[in-house]
A = this chain, B = another copy of it.
Amino acid sequence: MKPLKVAVLGCGSVGSQVVRLLDEQAGDLTARVGAPLELVGVAVRRLDAPREVKVPEGLLTTDAEELVTRADLVVEVIGGIEPARSLILRALDHGASVVTANKALLAADGPALYAAADLAARDLFYEAAVAGAIPILRPLRESLAGDRVTRVLGIVNGTTNFILDKMDTAGSGFAEALEEAQELGYAEADPTADVEGFDAAAKAAILASLAFHSRVTVDDVHREGISEVTAADVQSAREMGSVVKLLAIAELRGGEAGEAVAVRVHPAMIPRSHPLASVREAFNAVFVESEAAGELMFYGPGAGGSPTASAVLGDLVTVARNQLAGTRGPGESAYAERPVLPMGETVTRYHVAIDVDDRAGVLAAVANAFADQGVSIQTVKQEGRGLDAQLVVVSHSATDAQLAATVDQLRTMDAVREVTSVMRVEGGVE
Contacts and interface: CB of A to CB of B under 8 A. Distances in A.
Contacts of A21: 146-147, 292
A133 B296 CA distance: 8
Nearest to A322: B327
Nearest to A304: B294
Contacts of A127: 143
A299 interface: yes
Task: Determine which residue in A127, A296, A307, A321 has the highest number of CB atoms from chain B within 10 A of its CB, and name it.
Answer: A296
A238 to B, nearest CB: 19
As for how many copies of this chain the complex holds, the number is 2
Interface stretch (A27-35, A52-60, A218-226): A27-35
Interface in A275-300: 275, 278, 290-300
A391 B309 CA distance: 47
B333 A32 contact: yes
A312 interface: yes
Given A25-B146, A143-B127, A134 B313 contact: no
A294 B306 contact: yes
Given A146-B316, A330-B321, A300 B294 contact: yes
Contacts of A139: 135, 138-139
Nearest to A127: B143
| In the A-B complex, the 3 residue pairs with the closest CB atoms | A146-B313, A135-B143, A133-B293
7 contacts: A25-B146, A29-B146, A145-B314, A291-B306, A293-B306, A297-B297, A298-B298
